[in-house]
Structure 1
C-alpha cells in the first residue's frame, strides 16, 4: 500500500513550513510537523536543510512542547519560540511561550525573552540584532492579584466593551497584543548567558490594537499595523500603518474603505513596502495595491497597482530597489521580481505555488517552499533573475523531510466558457486506470475563501486520497477565485449565489463530457465558502447524487451576525437591515424545500469563523424537510478539523457517505462513530 492508500501513513507524513536562512547562507532551517508517539496530536521541531542540496536534513530541536518561528540573529544564532520548560528555573513551567536561542557556536538552547503573558511573535533587525517582541498586555487595571483571585473563584467570564470577542477558534481576552523593542546583547560581553536589554514599549494608541510589524536593519525604525475603530461603523475595525522612529510616530497609511497591512522593510533600510487592501462592497471586490515609501525622503509610489494581482508575500532583495512578490495567477503562485523604482516585473517561476521566499545576502540565490496541487511543500533554490524557471530548469529541489509515494493518478486541466464569455479553468485529478472503457466517478470539490484558488497542496483537503479510491476530482476556480484579475471578482462580490454557481455547473459539465468520466456518478463537496456553494447547489439542482458540506454558511443573515469578523461581511453584503433583498436573494436556507439530494453536514463546535449555529440550523432544516442527511459533529474541533484522529474520521465518514449514495454500495458506518 502507498501513503495514499493508507490513511494512517498519510496522516503520519512529516510536513514542513517556513524557512530561515543564516546570514552566511550556509544554513537553511524549517519547522517540521509530525505525529506524536501516541498518534493523538502533531508536534513541531526545527530541522536544518542543506542550501546546496547535498546533505541530508538534520534535526536541531526536540521537546514535548515543540518549537517554531525560526529566525537567525546577525551573529548566526538561531532564535525560536517554544513552551518548553527552562531547566535552570527553580519552578520550571510550560504554561507560556518564551523566546529561545540556540547558539551557532554550539551548546544547549536557552531562553532569552520570557514574559508573564508569553511571547506571541518576534522579528530581528537584520544588522543591529535589535528585537521587536510581541507579547500580550493585561487589561488596564488588572493586577496579578486580581488574576489570581479570578482563578481561585473559578471565574472565566469577561465583560467586553468592544467588538469582537473571539477570533477563528479562541476567545479574545481583555488584554491586547503589545510591541516591545529590545536592544541586543553587547557583542563584547563575555557572558554566554547575556540577554536582551530592557524593553522599550511601542504602543499604537490606547484605543488601538496591534496587528503586525516590521523592523529596519538598524533597529531604529519599526513599522506597526494598528487596528483602529472605523468611524463609519462603531463595531468595525480597519488597519492603518504607522512608522515609529526616534523622532516619533508618523501615520503612513490610514483611510476609510481600506486596510494597510503586511509591512516589510528592504535589507538596505531604504524602502518600506506594504499592502493596501481595498474593502469590498456589493459589486466591487477587494483589491490589492503593493505600495512603497522611501525611508530616505518620504516619497511614496505604487509598485504594483490596484486591481493587478493578489499579493501573498513580499521579500526584499539585497539590491534595495528590487523586491520578490508572490501572487496568485491562474492556478499557480509564481514569484515575481519587481523593480520598486520603475515597476518592471519579471516572472521568475512558470508553475507551482511558492511561499516563504528568502534571499541570500550576497544575491546569489533565492530559497522558497514550492508546492502545487500535485506536490507537497518542498524546499527549492531559485535563480534570482532568470524568467519562467521550472523544476530542473532554474528551480533546484533540495533535500527535504517529506516522503510520499508516487501519486495515484495524473493531473490535467479542464477549460470551459461561461455564458457571458468568461474563460473558466479547473484542475482535474484523474485516478490511475481511468479511461473510456473504465470511466471514473467524479467529485466536484469547491474551494473555500472565497478569495482563494486551487493552486497549492493541501494536507487536510487532499484530492489524491480520493484518487487512490478510484475517484476523479474536479478542482474549479469559479468567479471570486483569485489569480484571474479584478473583473473575475467584482460581479460576484455580494452575489455569491449567481455567477459562482453557474461557473461551477459549467465546469462540471465540461468535465463530465470527457469519456474517462462517468457522468452518471457525480457528487459535490466543499468547506467554508465551498460549503456555502454546496448548500446553494443542493437547493438549485439535482445533478449530484450526494453533497458533502463542511463548516458551511446556511442562513446568511445569521452568519453575518455571529461570525468573528461580522464587519467584513457587512461591507461585502451591505447592512441586513437596510439591504434585506440581497440577503434574501443569496441565502441558501430559503431553498431548503427544493433539496432532494442526500447531504452530509460536518461542523466543529470551536469554529468561530462559521459558527456551529449554521450547521445546527442546516441540520434541523434538512431533517424537518425529510431530506436524507447525516450530521458529523466535532465538539472539540475548529474550522478545519486538525487533530489526527478527527481528520482520519472525517475522511472515512465522507468515503462511506459517497460510496453509499454515489457508488450504491451497502452503508458501512465508520468505526468510532
Structure 2
C-alpha cells in the first residue's frame, strides 16, 4: 500500500508538530504545527489548541498569519504568548522582526506585547502565579536605551553595514554569526499592557526631547507607552546571557538563570539569582571548570533544581548530576547519586516532592520520577518512544507531553498517575509508514552489549532479502531513539532498503562506561561496534549481505569517512557535514575549546580520517553546506580535494561525487534542498548498491 514516504514531495508536505504548551488548569494544550508553504520553499507555522484532558473536543486553529507563530507559552491567567513576525498595525510596515504577542484566553485577536527594533529571540520563562514574562532579545552594545538601540539599528540598515567587530570568543554558532548585538534577558509586566483608542502619545518623551533641545528628526522614536516597557535584567552582558536555562519564581519576583562566564577562550555556566525589581544579581553556584545548567523552580517557590557537570577532559566523560537546593542556594544536595543517565529536561512534579526528568535510555527516551529524598529514579514510561516537551498538570498530577519513535512522528499524549499513556487529539492523523521495526543487538569485542533499531521493508524475506543501509548517528553523544524529519530512514525503507540505526560506543542512554569506551578514541570502539552490529544484521536471512552501504552526518559523517579508510565491505558511502582532518576541524569549528579539550593532541591525530585517504576503495558522496559553522565547509573541501588528488582519472573524472549547498547549514533544511539531498543520495545508492545507471537528479541541472 502506498505511503507518503514513496514520494519526496508527499513527504515534505506532511504536517509536523514542533512544540507543546499546557494551560495552568491542565485542560488545554497548544501545539506548534509546521506545514510546507504552497510553493514548497519553506514552512509556515501556526498554533492549534487541543483538549489536554482527553475529552472529545476537536482541535481548534488559533492563528493564521502569513509570517507564522512559534514557541507558545501560557500566562498565569490562561492567555497564550507566542513569538511571531506577523505585521503589527501600530508598527512600521517594513518591520519584519519577531515580537512577543498575546492571545487572550477570553477570545479576541492577538496583540503585540513588544516592539523592539531587533525583535524577541524567545520566551525564556513565564511566572506561574503572576503576570510577568522573561524574554530573550538581542540588543546592540553601544546603546544605553531601547530607543537608542532602535536608532543604531536604523543607521546600520540605512548604510547597509553588516560588519561585526568582535571583542570576545566565540564569533559563530551552528549556522549564524554572533553579534554585533548581544543577548539580554528582559522582564515584562503584562499588567502594563494597555488597550487604547488610536495612537498613544508619549508626552514625557516629547518633554525630554524638548528640554534637551534635540532636533525632532534626530530624536529616537519613543518606545510605545501602551506596551510594557522591558526591564533589562542583564545590562552590558557580553555573551553571558547566552543562557543555559532560565526559570522565574511563581510570584515573578526572582529569575534564576544559567549565565555564561568566560574562562579564557572557554566558558562555564553559573547559576545567578536576579531580583527583578532591583536588578541585583546574586551568584548561587559557581565553580571553575564546572557547568551549572537547566534551573527549575518548584511550584511553591521554595526550591531550586539544576544540573551540575564537571568539564570533560581527554581522561573521560563526566556525569550530569541532579541537584536541589533552597531557592537562595542553601541546603544544596545531590539526588539520584547512583543514576547513570544524562538528564535532557527536568521540572518539578505537581507535589514538589520529586523531579520529572527525561533522559536517553536503551534506545528510547522515557520519563522518570526522581524523588527529592534521594531515592532511586522511577521509570514512568516503558514503551519504545522518546518523550519531549513534558508539562505537569498541577490539578491532577498527570503529565502532558510529546512523544515520537522511528515509527511515529511527534504527537501529544497524557501520562496519568497510574502510568497509563493516552494519545490526545491532534490536528491531523499520524502518517502510515512503510517499515516494520525490530531491535537488534550483538556483543562487542570487549563484551559490551551493542544494540540498535532495524527498519525493514514489508516484503523483506529470505526469498527477497533487502539491501542494507547502515545509518550512523551524529553527536557523537546521541542516540537513535526519536523521529527526525530531516534524517528519516522511512524514506529509504520505501525504496526497498533495510536501515540499521545502531548506538555504538559514545552513544547516550547506556551509562557513563559505555560512553567512555570511545572517549578520546573515536576510531576504535565506535568503529568496531558498528562493524560488529552490521555483521549481526547481515547474518539475518531477510538482509542481503552482498548489497550494503553506509552513511552518516556530522559525527556520523566522521565515522563514514573512518569506515571508508578502514574497510571495503560497503558498495557506497554517503558522508554529510563530515569531520575529515581533526587538526584542521578543532580550531575552525564554532566553539573549538570543547573539541580541543576532549582529545589529547596524539589522539586527535591518531583518530583523524584524512590519514587514511589512500586506503579508500569505496565510492563516496560528499555533502556539505557553506553555512555550516559547526563542521566548517573546509572539511568537505579538503576531503573532496584529496579524493581527487589520489583517485581522479587522467581526464579528471571520478566515481566520487560532491553535493554542495552554498546557502545551507549543518542540516540542509529548506524543503526543496532536502528533496535534492534525498534525490542525490538515492541516485548514488541506486548506482552502486542496486546496480542501476547513474541518473543525475533533474533539479541539479
TM-score by length of 2: 0.90
Flag the 1:461–1:560 CA change in 2: closer, same or farther, 3 A: same
Measured after TM superposition, the shift of residue 342 of structure 1 is: 2.8
Where 2:190 maps in the other structure, the secondary structure is coil
Q: What is residue 56 of structure 2 aligned with on the other side?
A: 54
Pair 1:667 & 2:694 matched: yes
Per-residue CA shift, 1:575-627, capped at 9, x if unaligned? Answer: xxxx2x22220100010000010000001111111011101111111111116
Q: Aligned partners of 1:66 and 1:485: how far apart in 2?
A: 40
Which residue among 131, 134, 157 is the counterpart of 2:163?
A: 157
Q: Aligned partners of 1:148 and 1:362: how far apart in 2?
A: 48
Q: What is residue 106 of structure 2 aligned with on the other side?
A: 105
Q: Aligned partners of 2:272 and 2:424: how far apart in 1?
A: 39
Measured after TM superposition, the shift of residue 294 of structure 1 is: 1.2
Pair 1:183 & 2:214 matched: no
Aligned residue runs from structure 1 range 592-671, under 5 A: 592-626=613-647, 628-671=655-698
Contact 2:349 2:397 in 1 (8 A): no
Q: Aligned partners of 2:75 and 2:303: how far apart in 1?
A: 21
Pair 1:77 & 2:79 matched: yes
Stretch of structure 1 that moved more, 60-69 or 149-158: 149-158
Contact 1:364 1:383 in 2 (8 A): yes
Aligned residue runs from structure 1 range 190-589, under 5 A: 197-203=228-234, 206-207=237-238, 209-210=240-241, 211=243, 212-230=245-263, 234-245=264-275, 248-295=280-327, 298-305=330-337, 308-351=340-383, 352-384=385-417, 386=418, 389=419, 394-574=420-600, 579=601, 581-589=602-610
Q: Aligned partners of 2:533 and 2:235: how far apart in 1?
A: 48
Where 1:647 maps in the other structure, the secondary structure is helix
- State how many pairs are aligned: 656
Measured after TM superposition, the shift of residue 152 of structure 1 is: 4.0
Flag the 1:121–1:359 CA change in 2: closer, same or farther, 3 A: same
Measured after TM superposition, the shift of residue 306 of structure 1 is: 7.5
Flag the 1:518–1:95 CA change in 2: closer, same or farther, 3 A: same
Q: Aligned partners of 1:662 and 1:17: how far apart in 2?
A: 35
Q: Aligned partners of 2:27 and 2:128: how far apart in 1?
A: 16
Where 1:610 maps in the other structure, the secondary structure is coil
- Long gaps (5+) in structure 2: 199-224, 648-653
Flag the 1:488–1:297 CA change in 2: closer, same or farther, 3 A: closer
Q: Aligned partners of 1:412 and 1:418: how far apart in 2?
A: 19
Pair 1:10 & 2:11 matched: yes
RMSD: 2.0
Q: What is residue 203 of structure 2 aligned with on the other side?
A: none
Q: Aligned partners of 2:114 and 2:195: how far apart in 1?
A: 19
Contact 2:390 2:399 in 1 (8 A): yes
Per-residue CA shift, 1:493-546, capped at 9, x if unaligned? Answer: 221111100000001000001111111000000000000000000000001000
Q: Aligned partners of 2:197 and 2:296: how far apart in 1?
A: 31
Contact 2:84 2:99 in 1 (8 A): yes
Contact 2:304 2:327 in 1 (8 A): yes
Per-residue CA shift, 1:92-119, capped at 9, x if unaligned? Answer: 3442111111111111111012212211
Flag the 1:26–1:342 CA change in 2: closer, same or farther, 3 A: same
Q: Aligned partners of 1:176 and 1:311: how far apart in 2?
A: 29
Contact 1:280 1:493 in 2 (8 A): no
Stretch of structure 1 that moved more, 440-449 or 238-247: 238-247
Contact 2:296 2:305 in 1 (8 A): yes
TM-score by length of 1: 0.94
- Long gaps (5+) in structure 1: none
Contact 1:369 1:379 in 2 (8 A): yes
Q: Aligned partners of 2:577 and 2:439: how far apart in 1?
A: 28
